[in-house]
Amino acid sequence: MEKEPLVYIDGSLVPKSQAKISVFDHGFLYGDGVFESIMVFNGVAFQIKEHVDRLYDSAKALCLEIPLTKEEMLKAIINAVRVNGLRDAYIRVLVTRGVGDLGLDPRKCRKPTLIIIVDKIKLFKDEAWSQGVTAIISSVRRDRVDATTHEIKSMNYLNSILAKLEANAVGADEAIMLDERGFVSEGATDNIFIVKGGVIYTPQRSSGILPGITRRRIMMLAEELGYHVVEKDITPAELLTADEVFLTGTAASIVPVVKIAGRTIGDGKPGVITRKLMEKFRELKESPAEGIKVFE
Ligand SMILES: Cc1ncc(COP(=O)(O)O)c(C=O)c1O
């Protein structure tokens, strides 16, 4: 029989089938918690420090005190990967408000719950990277920056799920969301870039995006390749008439978008600059320089 994966819950490693939390946990009752996704590429927990920093920033914005220091958190994550023996994996770290009563007052929750899952994930079909994906422009606007903003990586993803439902309804792979002013914000679970006339553009944080760790890495790689990257407001018309469009995210890396709301992007194939960036990112994944070695 295959060995069951082990899940870390509050300091204990338990088999997946027994990895359970209380129904009174406010992460479950109210989506009150924060999370991170981290990839392990070739035995290296890729950009793990950036993810842990963002986890603590998200928690701070929610007045959620994580009971571990960052150093202890890094050790707990690395150990969870090690005991599961996966050289290539997807890690999900969750910190919920913890167990409280049925009211939503966070003060009733005495101790946050910490969960670390080490598994695999598949966000798009296999051909997505070679052929590109399709997208809609969702009627669901990205949450405002003065509301449940996605700048905070919280466990409350209904805003994205509503958009994803619209994409599913018409058989599109992804939903692109606009901010409350009507400018392009991001995908349901990824950041977005467009290319026009050899220049790369991406929305600013003020469009309510999650400041993606992959987004930042891609901006750096693009600059290394000699491209100019501009953060600016992007209109839906600019999106639909772009030469190239691509999405970035931890689990998906870079995914070309070839059709949006019935319009073909460029010539309907992954663009030249997108492919160059995909190649650069692939090299990085094969021998990740930024991260912590889990296995020698
Ligand atoms: C809403 C949202 N935007 C963007 C991203 C991409 O961010 P990152 O590259 O840090 O994974 C994600 C995925 O984590 C996301 O959920």
Q: Is 149 in the pocket of ligand 1 (CB under 6 A)?
A: no
Phi, psi of 206 (to 5 degrees): -65, -10
The reported pLDDT for the residue numbered 295 is 85
Which atom of ligand 1 is found nearest the CA of 51? 10
Q: Is 134 in the pocket of ligand 1 (CB under 6 A)?
A: no
Tokens of 84: 């599961």
Distance 150 CA to ligand 1 centre (A): 9
Ligand 1: which of 53, 210, 247 to mutate, most ligand atoms within 8 Å of CB?
A: 210
Q: How far apart, in whole angstroms, are the C-alpha atoms of residue 178 and residue 186?
A: 7
The order of strands in the sheet holding 6-9 is 12-15, 6-9, 113-119, 89-96, 33-41, 44-46, 291-293
Nearest CA to ligand 1 atom 4: 190
pLDDT in tens, 97-125: 999 999 999 999 999 999 999 999 988 99
Which atom of ligand 1 is found nearest the CA of 186? 3
pTM assigned to the model: 0.96
pLDDT in tens, 134-189: 999 999 999 999 999 999 999 999 999 999 999 999 999 999 999 999 999 999 99
Catalytic residues: 153
> In order of start, what are the domains of the chain with their CATH numbers?
6-119 (3.30.470.10), 128-286 (3.20.10.10)
Nearest CA to ligand 1 atom 16: 189
Distance 182 CA to ligand 1 centre (A): 20
Q: Is 174 in the pocket of ligand 1 (CB under 6 A)?
A: no
Distance 267 CA to ligand 1 centre (A): 27
Stretch 180-205: mean pLDDT: 98
Distance 191 CA to ligand 1 centre (A): 6
Distance 101 CA to ligand 1 centre (A): 31
Nearest CA to ligand 1 atom 3: 190
pLDDT in tens, 219-236: 999 999 999 999 999 999
